Amino acid sequence: MKSLSRMPPVARRAVVAACRIFVFPSVGFGVTVLSAGCEGIQGPIGERRDGPPERGGTLHLANYGDVRTLEPAVAFDAVSIPVLQLVFTPLVDYDREGRIVPLLAERLDVSSDGLRHTFQLREGALFHDGQELTADDVKRSIERALDPDTPCPAPSFYASIAGYAAFHDGVKDAAGRLAFAPHLVGVVVEGRYALRIDLSEPDATFLPALTLYFLAPVCRSAGSKYARDWSNHACGSGPFRIEDWSASREITLRRHDGYFEPGLPYLDAIRWSLLVPPLSQRFKFEKGELDHLRQLGAQDLRAYRSDPRWKPFGQWEPPKLVEGVFLNTQMKPFDNVELRRAFVAAIDWKRVIASRPDAMVATQMLPPAVPGHDPGFSGQKHDIPKALEHMRKAGHAFDPATGAGGYPETVTFVTPTDTAIAENFAPILQQQLARVGIRMRIKQVSYTAYLAETSKRNHSALGYCGWSMDFPDPSDFFEPTLSSDAIQEEETQNRAFFVNAEFDALLKRAHRELDPAARSAMYRRCEEIVRDEAPWALGFHQRWYEIVQPYVHNYAVDAKHTEDMRAVWIDAAARGDGKRDLLAAIRPWGRR
Amino acid sequence: MDPRALRRFRSNRGALVGTGIVLLLVLVAALAPAVLGLDPMTSDFDAGQGAEGAPVGPSAAHWLGTDTVYRDQLARLVYGARLSLVIGVAASALSLLIGTAAGVLAGYWQGRTIGPAALRLSLDGIIMRFVDIGLCFPFLILVMAIGAALDETTVWTVLIVLGSTSWLGTARIVRSQTMRVRDLDYVTASRALGEGTAMVLVRHVLPSVAGTLIVLGTISVAQLILAESALSYLNLGLAPPTPSWGHMLLEGQRDYASAPWLLAAPGGAILLSVMGFNLLGEGLRDAFDPRESPP
CA-based torsion, A406, A410, A411, A416: positive or negative: positive
The reported pLDDT for the residue numbered A481 is 92
Q: Which residues of B make CB contacts under 8 Å with A?
A: 11-14, 41-43, 45, 49, 51-55, 68-71, 152, 235, 239-241, 250-251, 253-260, 264, 279, 282, 286, 293-295
Torsion of Cα atoms, A391 then A393 then A395 then A401, to 10°: 40
| SS3 track for A267-295 | CCEEEEECCCCHHHHHHHHHHCCCCEECC
> In chain A, what is the straight-line distance between the N-terminal and C-terminal CA atoms, in Å?
37
**What does each C-alpha distance from B287 to A61, A242, B2, B211 come to in angstroms?**
59, 68, 9, 10
Best of B42, B43, B45, B238 to substitute, by most chain A Cβ atoms within 10 angstroms, is B43
Closest to A511 (Cα-Cα) out of A160, A274, A29: A160
Chain A residues with CB under 8 Å of B12 CB are 2-3
Question: Which residues, in sequence order, are CB contacts of B90 under 8 Å at separation 6+?
Answer: B159, B163
A553 forms bridges with which residues in the sheet?
A569
What one-character DSSP code corresponds to residue A538? E
Best of B12, B71, B258, B282 to substitute, by most chain A Cβ atoms within 10 angstroms, is B258
d(CA A557, CA A548): 11
Query: Where in A96-239 does DSSP place strands (E)?
Result: 100-102, 105-110, 116-121, 171-172, 178-179, 187-189, 194-198
Percent of chain B with pLDDT over 70: 97
**A423 interfaces chain B, CB cutoff of 8 Å:** yes
**pLDDT, tens digit, 9 for 90 and up, residues A535-581:** 999 999 999 999 999 999 999 888 888 899 999 999 988 887 767 77
The CB density around residue A546, as the number of other CB atoms within 10 Å, is: 20
- Nearest chain A CA: its distance from B99 CA (Å): 26
d(CA A309, CA A55): 27
> In chain B, what is the straight-line distance between the N-terminal and C-terminal CA atoms, in Å?
22
Which of A6, A357, A428 minimises the CB distance to B43? A428
Q: Yes or no: say if A142 and A226 are a contact pair by the CB < 8 Å rule.
A: no
Question: Which residues, in sequence order, are CB contacts of A364 under 8 Å at separation 6+?
Answer: A373, A374, A377, A379, A527, A530, A531, A538
Record the pTM: 0.81
Phi-psi region of A57 (alpha: psi -120 to 50; beta: other; left: phi over 0): left
**pLDDT, tens digit, 9 for 90 and up, residues A145-176:** 999 888 888 888 999 999 999 898 888 888 88
The reported pLDDT for the residue numbered A38 is 47
The reported pLDDT for the residue numbered A8 is 55
The reported pLDDT for the residue numbered A259 is 92
Helix (H, G, I), strand (E, B) or coil at B55: strand
The CB density around residue A502, as the number of other CB atoms within 10 Å, is: 11
- Nearest chain B CA: its distance from A145 CA (Å): 39
Size of interface A-B (CB pairs under 8 A): 105
A105 forms bridges with which residues in the sheet?
A121
d(CA B15, CA B282): 7
Q: Yes or no: say if A535 and A340 are a contact pair by the CB < 8 Å rule.
A: yes
The CB density around residue A516, as the number of other CB atoms within 10 Å, is: 11
Closest to A437 (Cα-Cα) out of A410, A408, A406: A406
d(CA A128, CA A88): 10
**A362 interfaces chain B, CB cutoff of 8 Å:** no
Closest to A340 (Cα-Cα) out of A487, A552, A533, A116: A533
Task: Mark the ranges of chain B whose per-residue pLDDT is less than 70.
Answer: 1, 151, 290-295
A327 forms bridges with which residues in the sheet?
A462
CA A79 remoteness from chain centre: 8
**pLDDT, tens digit, 9 for 90 and up, residues A249-263:** 999 999 999 898 888
Predicted ipTM?
A: 0.76
